[in-house]
Structure 1
Amino acid sequence: MRKVVAPDYTVFEHVKRHVEAVKTAIREAIIPESVTCSYPKERRKMPASFRGYLIFDPDRCISCFGCAFICPANAIRMKEAEDGRYYPTIDYGKCIFCHFCLDSCPEGALKPTKIHDVAYRDLDRMLTLTEEMIEPPEIIREDKRYVEYVIDGRDLHLRRVDGEDELLVDLPPPSKVERIASCIDPESCTGCRICEEVCEHGVIRSSVEEDGVRMVIDSERCTGCGLCVKECSMRVLRLVRR
């Protein structure tokens, strides 16, 4: 095995390398080309679609449980409120910030932010209740300017701009597709009434007739949350366009 031998530089080569190092230091001091920012004095400007902490608007929520169903990390649980409806809670100790919940929300009740640097004293405090999701967490800001990454040809530069990047974004609500629950195969319905029990809005009613139990859906009041469709064991319920 050969040993690694230190190169034997001449005096001229030593001087040349030191001069190059000094030139690099002077250039970086005058026109920095580094791709880092001096956080927290500087903050990187994030796009409006940045996947940060979520804000919740209870007035838009239809209690469809869609965010809880789709969460791959099992970080969202639905909590019963005083008005009898169910609203989401998020455990940020489990959340992977995929924003599947935001994409699946049909009414835009969940909104994104650029907030990503929240500190907690312990894991228990990372469980964010519904009431705590309505307003953003308290942020103590030290940044006086933000940094943008600019690609010029094949070179990557930083652009430093005086001011604060807005952490709360106001994205337009998603385009809404009106959908309602409908029974596509009434003859296969077993009359188990699970759909009636899970319906948070009371739009499904059952009536006993001579040939069995008949389920009736009030299409005018149906919000299209899809809870009944998910729980139907016979798969006879579907969400259809209104």
Structure 2
Amino acid sequence: MNQVTASSQNRYAVKSVGARLSLVEKAVWHARALALGFKRLVFPIRHTHRYPYVRAIPSARNYRGMIVLLDEKCNGCSLCARVCPAAALKMITVEQGEKRPVINYERCVFCGYCVDICPTEALYHTNVHDLVFMNRDSMIFMLDRFTKEPEEPEHVKKVRVVLDEERGLRYVPVGSDSE
């Protein structure tokens, strides 16, 4: 087993457990931890900057968003529900004994296996990647909601997340010159 200790050449170096830290080294580590805590108290790194009124857009174009079902293409084969590693998709019986999937976004990990395995391409990812749910029941999309693309609120300002070496994450409005 290894533990991380300070080094003059490298900020973090691995030191074996057999070599114990001296009392001075322990005090230095505790002082650094306290200093970092006070620094973040005064200059916090805000990962959820005014969320949900300001939302970060994904950086990649192929980012997997919410999943939507095209009901007219679905043949009820249940492959999507069987391949789902999180058991987020379940099959329900609708009129005339046909089966259709419903999704529980509380369990979904957005792996995309269901979209990839669908032989009729009845499932697809949307560009909406971020929705706020007020309770757990609203995270279960039955057939009526699962067949419609989710809409993003219009009052939301979109930002891009930029890594700043001094402050951590910084939020830049989309379309701004400082990107």
Whether the TM-score (by the shorter chain) exceeds 0.5 is yes
Does residue 51 in structure 1 map to residue 64 in structure 2? yes
For 2:62, give the aligned amino acid. S
User: What one-letter code is carried by the residue in structure 2 that aligns with 1:62?
Assistant: N
User: Which residue, out of 67, 74, 85, partners 1:72?
Assistant: 85
Gap change, CA 1:41 and 1:118, over 3 Å in 2: closer
1:85 paired with 2:90, answer: no
Matched-pair contact (CA < 8 Å) for 1:145–1:162: no
- Say which SS state the counterpart of residue 103 (structure 1) adopts: helix
Matches within 5 A, 1:166-205: none
Aligned to 1:117: 130
Q: 1:90 to 1:160 in 2, by over 3 A?
A: same
The C-alpha deviation readout for 1:47-67, integer Å capped at 9, x for no partner, is: 342122111101111111110
Partners of 1:121 and 1:74 lie apart in 2 by 22
Deviations 1:72-117 (A, max 9, x none): 1111111112243111001111111111101111111111023232
Partner of 1:88, secondary structure, is: strand
- Please give the TM-score of this superposition, normalised by the length of structure 1: 0.44
Q: Which runs of 5+ in 2 are unaligned?
A: 1-22, 32-46, 164-169
- Say which of 123, 126, 136 aligns to 2:149: 136
Contact residue 51 and residue 113 of structure 1 kept, 8 A: yes
Aligned counterpart for 1:62 among listed residues 54, 75, 96: 75
User: Which structure has more RCO (C-alpha within 8 Å, separation ≥ 6)?
Assistant: 2
Aligned pairs, number = 130
1:102-159 CA deviation, whole Å, 9 max, x = no partner? Answer: 1111111111023232222322332211111111234313344553869xxxxxx997
Which residue of structure 1 lines up, in the alignment, with residue 5 of structure 2?
none
Structure 1 residues 124 and 94: alpha-carbon distance in aligned structure 2, compared to 1, 3 A threshold: same
Alignment equivalent of 1:103, drawn from 116, 122, 137 = 116
Q: Distance in 2 between matches of 1:71 and 1:127?
A: 15
TM-score scaled by structure 2?
0.58
| Distance verdict in 2 for CA 1:68–1:45, change over 3 Å | closer
Task: Tell me which residue corresponds to 1:168.
Answer: none
Could you tell me which runs of 5 or more consecutive residues in structure 1 were left unpaired when the two chains were aligned: 7-35, 151-156, 164-242
What CA distance in whole angstroms lies between the structure 1 residues aligned with 2:138 and 2:126?
Answer: 20
Aligned-CA RMSD value: 3.4
The structure that has the greater radius of gyration is 1
Contact 1:37 1:43 in 2 (8 A): no
Distance 1:41 1:158, change over 3 A: closer
